[in-house]
Amino acid sequence: MKIFYQLFLSLLLSISTPLLADNENTLLSQPIPIDQISTFLAGIPQGGPFTEYEQTHEWQDFSKDFEYRWQSIQEKRLAPMRAWRDQYLGPITLPLFYPMGGPDVLNALLFFPHSAEYLIVGLERVGRKIDFEMLAMPEKRRSYFENIQNGTSSLFQRSFFITKDMSKDFFDYGVLPTLLALLKRSQAEIKSITFVKITAEGELLECPDDQAQGVHILFFQKGHEKPQTLSYFRQNLNDYNIHQFTSFLKKKAPLATMFKSASYTPHQVGFAKLVEFVLENTTLLLQDDTGLPYRVLQQHQWQLKYFGIYEEPYGESFVAYKQPDLARYFIEQKAVIRELPFRIGYGYGKVPSNFLIAMPPIKGLESTNEPSPKPTP
Protein backbone atom coordinates (compact mmCIF):
# COMPACT_ATOMS: atom_id res chain seq x y z
CA MET A 1 0.00 0.00 0.00
CA LYS A 2 2.82 2.33 0.92
CA ILE A 3 4.59 1.56 -2.35
CA PHE A 4 1.37 2.21 -4.27
CA TYR A 5 0.96 5.61 -2.54
CA GLN A 6 4.53 6.62 -3.39
CA LEU A 7 4.00 5.64 -7.01
CA PHE A 8 0.75 7.62 -7.10
CA LEU A 9 2.45 10.69 -5.59
CA SER A 10 5.31 10.48 -8.06
CA LEU A 11 2.85 10.25 -10.95
CA LEU A 12 0.91 13.27 -9.65
CA LEU A 13 4.06 15.38 -9.34
CA SER A 14 5.21 14.37 -12.80
CA ILE A 15 1.93 15.65 -14.20
CA SER A 16 1.54 18.83 -12.10
CA THR A 17 5.12 20.08 -12.29
CA PRO A 18 5.05 20.70 -16.06
CA LEU A 19 1.67 22.39 -15.66
CA LEU A 20 3.05 24.73 -13.01
CA ALA A 21 6.09 25.42 -15.16
CA ASP A 22 3.89 26.12 -18.18
CA ASN A 23 1.79 28.58 -16.15
CA GLU A 24 4.91 30.36 -14.89
CA ASN A 25 6.38 30.56 -18.38
CA THR A 26 3.07 31.86 -19.74
CA LEU A 27 3.01 34.66 -17.16
CA LEU A 28 6.61 35.57 -17.89
CA SER A 29 6.06 35.48 -21.65
CA GLN A 30 3.13 37.87 -21.59
CA PRO A 31 4.24 41.31 -22.86
CA ILE A 32 4.54 44.09 -20.31
CA PRO A 33 1.98 46.84 -21.14
CA ILE A 34 3.45 50.01 -22.63
CA ASP A 35 1.79 52.01 -19.85
CA GLN A 36 3.94 50.21 -17.26
CA ILE A 37 7.08 50.75 -19.34
CA SER A 38 6.17 54.45 -19.64
CA THR A 39 5.61 54.68 -15.88
CA PHE A 40 9.11 53.31 -15.34
CA LEU A 41 10.57 55.82 -17.82
CA ALA A 42 8.77 58.63 -15.96
CA GLY A 43 10.50 57.69 -12.73
CA ILE A 44 7.23 56.74 -10.99
CA PRO A 45 7.43 53.73 -8.62
CA GLN A 46 5.09 50.84 -9.43
CA GLY A 47 6.75 47.60 -8.32
CA GLY A 48 5.68 44.38 -10.04
CA PRO A 49 8.08 43.27 -12.78
CA PHE A 50 10.03 46.54 -12.33
CA THR A 51 10.81 46.03 -8.63
CA GLU A 52 14.37 44.86 -9.23
CA TYR A 53 15.13 47.75 -11.58
CA GLU A 54 13.57 50.31 -9.23
CA GLN A 55 16.01 49.26 -6.53
CA THR A 56 19.04 50.23 -8.60
CA HIS A 57 20.90 53.42 -7.73
CA GLU A 58 20.59 54.81 -11.26
CA TRP A 59 16.79 54.51 -11.34
CA GLN A 60 16.39 55.92 -7.83
CA ASP A 61 18.59 58.90 -8.71
CA PHE A 62 16.69 59.37 -11.96
CA SER A 63 13.31 59.13 -10.19
CA LYS A 64 14.25 61.65 -7.48
CA ASP A 65 15.62 64.09 -10.05
CA PHE A 66 12.53 63.81 -12.28
CA GLU A 67 10.16 64.21 -9.33
CA TYR A 68 12.05 67.26 -8.04
CA ARG A 69 12.11 68.98 -11.43
CA TRP A 70 8.46 68.13 -12.11
CA GLN A 71 7.25 69.49 -8.77
CA SER A 72 9.43 72.61 -9.07
CA ILE A 73 7.40 73.90 -12.04
CA GLN A 74 3.93 73.13 -10.70
CA GLU A 75 3.12 76.09 -8.48
CA LYS A 76 5.16 78.91 -10.01
CA ARG A 77 4.65 78.13 -13.69
CA LEU A 78 1.96 75.57 -14.45
CA ALA A 79 -0.66 76.71 -11.93
CA PRO A 80 -0.93 80.29 -13.33
CA MET A 81 -0.88 78.88 -16.87
CA ARG A 82 -3.86 76.65 -16.08
CA ALA A 83 -5.75 79.55 -14.51
CA TRP A 84 -5.08 81.74 -17.56
CA ARG A 85 -6.14 78.92 -19.89
CA ASP A 86 -9.42 78.39 -18.04
CA GLN A 87 -10.21 82.09 -18.20
CA TYR A 88 -9.31 82.84 -21.81
CA LEU A 89 -9.24 79.58 -23.77
CA GLY A 90 -11.79 77.34 -22.11
CA PRO A 91 -12.39 73.70 -23.09
CA ILE A 92 -11.18 73.63 -26.72
CA THR A 93 -11.95 70.26 -28.35
CA LEU A 94 -10.47 70.97 -31.79
CA PRO A 95 -7.52 68.84 -32.93
CA LEU A 96 -4.29 70.64 -32.04
CA PHE A 97 -1.64 71.25 -34.71
CA TYR A 98 1.67 72.12 -33.03
CA PRO A 99 4.37 72.82 -35.64
CA MET A 100 8.00 72.97 -34.46
CA GLY A 101 6.80 71.53 -31.17
CA GLY A 102 9.31 68.69 -30.81
CA PRO A 103 8.29 66.32 -28.00
CA ASP A 104 6.56 69.13 -26.06
CA VAL A 105 3.64 67.14 -24.68
CA LEU A 106 3.69 69.28 -21.54
CA ASN A 107 2.44 72.54 -23.08
CA ALA A 108 0.19 70.84 -25.63
CA LEU A 109 -1.78 69.08 -22.88
CA LEU A 110 -1.69 72.06 -20.55
CA PHE A 111 -3.21 74.60 -22.95
CA PHE A 112 -5.48 72.15 -24.80
CA PRO A 113 -6.37 69.35 -22.35
CA HIS A 114 -9.67 68.59 -24.11
CA SER A 115 -8.42 68.20 -27.68
CA ALA A 116 -9.37 64.84 -29.13
CA GLU A 117 -6.14 64.70 -31.12
CA TYR A 118 -2.67 66.24 -30.90
CA LEU A 119 -0.57 66.57 -34.07
CA ILE A 120 2.95 67.61 -33.07
CA VAL A 121 5.72 68.17 -35.62
CA GLY A 122 9.48 68.35 -35.20
CA LEU A 123 12.74 67.52 -36.97
CA GLU A 124 13.95 65.00 -34.39
CA ARG A 125 13.97 61.25 -34.89
CA VAL A 126 10.93 59.30 -33.72
CA GLY A 127 12.80 56.44 -32.03
CA ARG A 128 12.32 52.68 -31.97
CA LYS A 129 9.92 50.34 -30.20
CA ILE A 130 10.64 49.97 -26.46
CA ASP A 131 10.32 46.47 -24.97
CA PHE A 132 10.62 45.31 -21.37
CA GLU A 133 13.46 43.00 -22.41
CA MET A 134 15.48 46.03 -23.53
CA LEU A 135 15.33 47.42 -20.00
CA ALA A 136 17.06 44.31 -18.64
CA MET A 137 20.36 45.74 -19.91
CA PRO A 138 21.80 48.27 -17.40
CA GLU A 139 23.54 50.30 -20.09
CA LYS A 140 20.28 50.55 -22.03
CA ARG A 141 18.39 51.75 -18.96
CA ARG A 142 21.03 54.38 -18.23
CA SER A 143 20.86 55.59 -21.82
CA TYR A 144 17.09 56.00 -21.62
CA PHE A 145 17.39 57.94 -18.35
CA GLU A 146 20.02 60.22 -19.87
CA ASN A 147 17.91 60.72 -22.98
CA ILE A 148 14.89 61.82 -20.92
CA GLN A 149 16.85 63.99 -18.48
CA ASN A 150 18.68 65.82 -21.24
CA GLY A 151 15.56 66.05 -23.36
CA THR A 152 13.43 67.65 -20.64
CA SER A 153 16.08 69.86 -19.03
CA SER A 154 15.50 72.99 -21.10
CA LEU A 155 11.74 72.40 -21.24
CA PHE A 156 11.54 72.48 -17.44
CA GLN A 157 14.01 75.33 -16.99
CA ARG A 158 13.00 77.59 -19.89
CA SER A 159 9.62 76.25 -21.13
CA PHE A 160 11.06 75.29 -24.56
CA PHE A 161 13.61 73.03 -26.23
CA ILE A 162 16.90 74.49 -27.46
CA THR A 163 17.05 73.69 -31.17
CA LYS A 164 20.82 73.14 -31.42
CA ASP A 165 20.74 70.70 -28.49
CA MET A 166 17.80 68.63 -29.70
CA SER A 167 19.61 66.80 -32.49
CA LYS A 168 22.20 65.64 -29.94
CA ASP A 169 19.79 64.88 -27.07
CA PHE A 170 17.44 62.78 -29.21
CA PHE A 171 19.93 61.30 -31.68
CA ASP A 172 20.27 57.80 -30.17
CA TYR A 173 16.73 57.04 -28.97
CA GLY A 174 14.56 59.69 -30.61
CA VAL A 175 11.73 61.56 -28.93
CA LEU A 176 9.59 58.54 -28.01
CA PRO A 177 10.96 57.96 -24.48
CA THR A 178 10.46 61.65 -23.64
CA LEU A 179 6.95 61.67 -25.11
CA LEU A 180 5.98 58.68 -22.97
CA ALA A 181 7.57 60.05 -19.79
CA LEU A 182 5.83 63.43 -20.15
CA LEU A 183 2.48 61.76 -20.86
CA LYS A 184 2.76 59.68 -17.69
CA ARG A 185 3.81 62.70 -15.62
CA SER A 186 0.71 64.43 -17.00
CA GLN A 187 -1.38 61.60 -15.50
CA ALA A 188 -2.20 59.84 -18.75
CA GLU A 189 -2.78 56.10 -19.13
CA ILE A 190 -1.13 54.92 -22.32
CA LYS A 191 -3.09 52.24 -24.15
CA SER A 192 -1.13 51.63 -27.34
CA ILE A 193 1.64 52.83 -29.64
CA THR A 194 1.63 52.53 -33.42
CA PHE A 195 4.46 53.53 -35.76
CA VAL A 196 3.16 55.27 -38.87
CA LYS A 197 4.00 57.01 -42.11
CA ILE A 198 1.96 59.20 -44.45
CA THR A 199 1.23 57.98 -47.96
CA ALA A 200 1.34 60.09 -51.11
CA GLU A 201 -2.45 60.36 -50.85
CA GLY A 202 -2.23 61.81 -47.34
CA GLU A 203 -3.35 58.65 -45.56
CA LEU A 204 -1.88 57.40 -42.29
CA LEU A 205 -0.37 53.94 -42.68
CA GLU A 206 0.99 51.62 -39.98
CA CYS A 207 4.58 50.54 -40.58
CA PRO A 208 7.63 48.99 -38.85
CA ASP A 209 9.44 51.27 -36.43
CA ASP A 210 12.55 51.47 -38.63
CA GLN A 211 10.44 52.92 -41.46
CA ALA A 212 8.35 55.29 -39.34
CA GLN A 213 7.80 58.93 -40.08
CA GLY A 214 5.76 59.27 -36.91
CA VAL A 215 4.33 57.58 -33.86
CA HIS A 216 0.64 57.43 -32.92
CA ILE A 217 -0.13 57.12 -29.19
CA LEU A 218 -3.59 56.31 -27.81
CA PHE A 219 -4.10 57.40 -24.20
CA PHE A 220 -6.62 58.36 -21.53
CA GLN A 221 -6.14 61.48 -19.43
CA LYS A 222 -7.11 61.31 -15.78
CA GLY A 223 -10.69 62.54 -15.39
CA HIS A 224 -11.50 62.16 -19.10
CA GLU A 225 -14.04 59.62 -20.30
CA LYS A 226 -12.93 59.41 -23.93
CA PRO A 227 -9.55 58.36 -25.32
CA GLN A 228 -7.28 60.89 -26.99
CA THR A 229 -4.47 60.47 -29.48
CA LEU A 230 -1.08 62.09 -29.82
CA SER A 231 0.86 61.82 -33.06
CA TYR A 232 4.42 63.04 -33.41
CA PHE A 233 5.80 63.42 -36.94
CA ARG A 234 9.33 64.02 -38.12
CA GLN A 235 8.58 66.43 -40.92
CA ASN A 236 10.20 69.46 -42.55
CA LEU A 237 7.47 72.06 -43.08
CA ASN A 238 9.21 74.17 -45.71
CA ASP A 239 7.53 74.88 -49.05
CA TYR A 240 9.35 72.05 -50.80
CA ASN A 241 8.34 69.31 -48.34
CA ILE A 242 5.00 70.32 -46.88
CA HIS A 243 2.48 69.30 -49.58
CA GLN A 244 2.09 65.62 -48.72
CA PHE A 245 1.85 66.40 -45.03
CA THR A 246 -0.80 69.09 -45.43
CA SER A 247 -2.85 66.68 -47.54
CA PHE A 248 -3.04 64.56 -44.39
CA LEU A 249 -3.62 67.52 -42.05
CA LYS A 250 -6.48 68.99 -44.09
CA LYS A 251 -8.56 65.93 -43.25
CA LYS A 252 -8.29 66.92 -39.58
CA ALA A 253 -9.44 70.54 -40.07
CA PRO A 254 -10.70 72.76 -38.60
CA LEU A 255 -7.75 72.92 -36.24
CA ALA A 256 -6.45 74.75 -33.23
CA THR A 257 -2.83 75.74 -33.96
CA MET A 258 -0.08 76.63 -31.50
CA PHE A 259 3.29 78.26 -32.16
CA LYS A 260 5.71 78.58 -29.26
CA SER A 261 9.45 79.20 -29.47
CA ALA A 262 9.19 78.28 -33.16
CA SER A 263 12.48 79.91 -34.29
CA TYR A 264 10.35 82.49 -36.18
CA THR A 265 9.87 79.88 -38.90
CA PRO A 266 6.63 81.48 -40.25
CA HIS A 267 8.61 84.72 -40.76
CA GLN A 268 11.22 83.07 -42.97
CA VAL A 269 11.43 82.80 -46.73
CA GLY A 270 10.47 79.32 -47.81
CA PHE A 271 7.61 78.76 -45.35
CA ALA A 272 4.83 80.62 -47.15
CA LYS A 273 2.80 77.44 -47.65
CA LEU A 274 2.85 76.72 -43.91
CA VAL A 275 1.48 80.19 -43.23
CA GLU A 276 -1.15 79.73 -45.93
CA PHE A 277 -2.21 76.37 -44.52
CA VAL A 278 -2.58 77.77 -41.00
CA LEU A 279 -4.65 80.72 -42.21
CA GLU A 280 -6.98 78.46 -44.19
CA ASN A 281 -7.43 75.62 -41.70
CA THR A 282 -7.19 77.18 -38.24
CA THR A 283 -10.19 78.19 -36.15
CA LEU A 284 -8.19 79.17 -33.07
CA LEU A 285 -4.55 80.27 -33.01
CA LEU A 286 -2.42 80.44 -29.85
CA GLN A 287 1.11 81.78 -30.29
CA ASP A 288 3.94 83.97 -29.12
CA ASP A 289 5.66 86.38 -31.51
CA THR A 290 7.57 83.51 -33.16
CA GLY A 291 4.36 82.41 -34.91
CA LEU A 292 2.50 84.11 -37.74
CA PRO A 293 3.65 87.73 -38.24
CA TYR A 294 1.36 90.46 -36.94
CA ARG A 295 1.15 92.08 -40.37
CA VAL A 296 -0.18 88.84 -41.90
CA LEU A 297 -2.91 88.48 -39.28
CA GLN A 298 -3.87 92.14 -39.73
CA GLN A 299 -3.96 91.77 -43.50
CA HIS A 300 -6.41 88.87 -43.16
CA GLN A 301 -8.45 90.73 -40.52
CA TRP A 302 -8.12 88.13 -37.80
CA GLN A 303 -9.62 88.82 -34.39
CA LEU A 304 -6.70 89.39 -32.01
CA LYS A 305 -6.31 89.32 -28.23
CA TYR A 306 -2.79 90.09 -27.08
CA PHE A 307 -1.33 89.41 -23.64
CA GLY A 308 1.89 90.48 -21.94
CA ILE A 309 4.62 92.73 -23.36
CA TYR A 310 6.36 92.81 -26.72
CA GLU A 311 9.35 94.99 -27.55
CA GLU A 312 11.60 92.95 -29.85
CA PRO A 313 12.85 89.37 -30.27
CA TYR A 314 15.17 88.12 -27.55
CA GLY A 315 18.73 87.31 -28.50
CA GLU A 316 21.03 88.12 -31.40
CA SER A 317 19.96 85.03 -33.35
CA PHE A 318 16.51 86.48 -34.03
CA VAL A 319 17.26 90.18 -34.46
CA ALA A 320 16.17 89.98 -38.13
CA TYR A 321 12.61 89.17 -37.08
CA LYS A 322 11.73 92.42 -35.35
CA GLN A 323 8.14 93.54 -35.84
CA PRO A 324 8.03 97.34 -35.49
CA ASP A 325 4.29 97.37 -36.26
CA LEU A 326 3.64 94.93 -33.40
CA ALA A 327 5.83 96.98 -31.04
CA ARG A 328 3.78 100.09 -31.92
CA TYR A 329 0.58 98.16 -31.31
CA PHE A 330 1.70 97.21 -27.81
CA ILE A 331 2.50 100.87 -27.06
CA GLU A 332 -0.57 102.49 -28.59
CA GLN A 333 -3.08 99.86 -27.43
CA LYS A 334 -1.62 99.33 -23.97
CA ALA A 335 -5.03 99.88 -22.37
CA VAL A 336 -6.59 96.86 -24.09
CA ILE A 337 -3.65 94.46 -23.87
CA ARG A 338 -4.14 92.04 -21.00
CA GLU A 339 -1.62 90.92 -18.42
CA LEU A 340 0.18 87.60 -18.90
CA PRO A 341 0.68 86.07 -15.43
CA PHE A 342 3.50 83.71 -16.44
CA ARG A 343 6.72 83.66 -18.47
CA ILE A 344 7.01 81.50 -21.56
CA GLY A 345 9.18 81.22 -24.66
CA TYR A 346 12.50 82.81 -25.61
CA GLY A 347 14.11 84.99 -22.98
CA TYR A 348 12.32 83.05 -20.25
CA GLY A 349 12.98 84.70 -16.88
CA LYS A 350 14.97 87.52 -18.49
CA VAL A 351 12.45 89.52 -20.49
CA PRO A 352 8.64 89.76 -20.39
CA SER A 353 6.67 87.30 -22.50
CA ASN A 354 3.82 87.80 -24.95
CA PHE A 355 0.97 85.57 -26.09
CA LEU A 356 -1.79 85.92 -28.66
CA ILE A 357 -5.19 84.28 -29.04
CA ALA A 358 -6.48 84.83 -32.57
CA MET A 359 -9.45 83.70 -34.64
CA PRO A 360 -10.31 84.27 -38.32
CA PRO A 361 -12.91 86.89 -39.14
CA ILE A 362 -16.54 85.82 -39.01
CA LYS A 363 -17.88 85.82 -42.54
CA GLY A 364 -20.58 88.41 -43.12
CA LEU A 365 -19.69 90.35 -39.98
CA GLU A 366 -17.32 93.23 -39.41
CA SER A 367 -13.97 92.38 -37.89
CA THR A 368 -13.91 92.44 -34.10
CA ASN A 369 -10.18 93.17 -33.88
CA GLU A 370 -9.04 95.42 -31.13
CA PRO A 371 -8.19 98.91 -32.43
CA SER A 372 -5.29 98.96 -34.86
CA PRO A 373 -2.37 101.36 -34.49
CA LYS A 374 -2.52 104.54 -36.50
CA PRO A 375 -0.68 104.37 -39.81
CA THR A 376 2.77 105.89 -39.90
CA PRO A 377 2.81 109.12 -41.93
Q: Residue ranges per domain, the chain? A: 31-235, 260-377
- Nearest by Cα to 238 from 99, 85, 94: 99
pLDDT at 362: 80
pLDDT at 77: 86
158 to each of 161, 162, 294, how far by Cα in Å?
Answer: 8, 9, 24
Residues 6+ apart with CB under 8 A from 302: 285, 358, 359, 360, 361, 367, 369
Residue 257 amino acid letter: T
Residue 36 amino acid letter: Q
d(CA 303, CA 335): 17
Q: What is the pTM of this model?
A: 0.86
Please calculate the CA angle 171-177-183 and round it to the nearest 5 degrees. 140
d(CA 137, CA 165): 26
The answer, yes or no, to whether residue 374 has pLDDT greater than 50, is no
What is the phi-psi region of residue 159: left when phi exceeds 0, alpha when psi lies from -120 to 50, beta otherwise? left
Residues 6+ apart with CB under 8 A from 209: 126, 127, 128, 129, 195
The answer, yes or no, to whether residue 37 has pLDDT greater than 50, is yes
pLDDT at 217: 97
Residue 252 amino acid letter: K
368 pLDDT band (50/70/90 cuts)? Answer: very low
Q: Which is more confidently placed, 224 or 111?
A: 111
Dihedral over Cα of 306, 308, 310, 311: its sign: positive
pLDDT at 183: 96
166 pLDDT band (50/70/90 cuts)? Answer: very low
pLDDT at 365: 53
pLDDT at 336: 93
Say how many CA atoms lie within 13 Å of 266 toward its Cβ: 27
Q: Which is more confidently placed, 261 or 119?
A: 119
The answer, yes or no, to whether residue 142 has pLDDT greater than 50, is yes
pLDDT at 122: 92
Out of 46-50, 121-125, 170-174, 360-364, pick the least confident: 170-174
134 pLDDT band (50/70/90 cuts)? Answer: confident
d(CA 113, CA 96): 10
* pLDDT (average), residues 197-202: 91
The answer, yes or no, to whether residue 17 has pLDDT greater than 50, is no
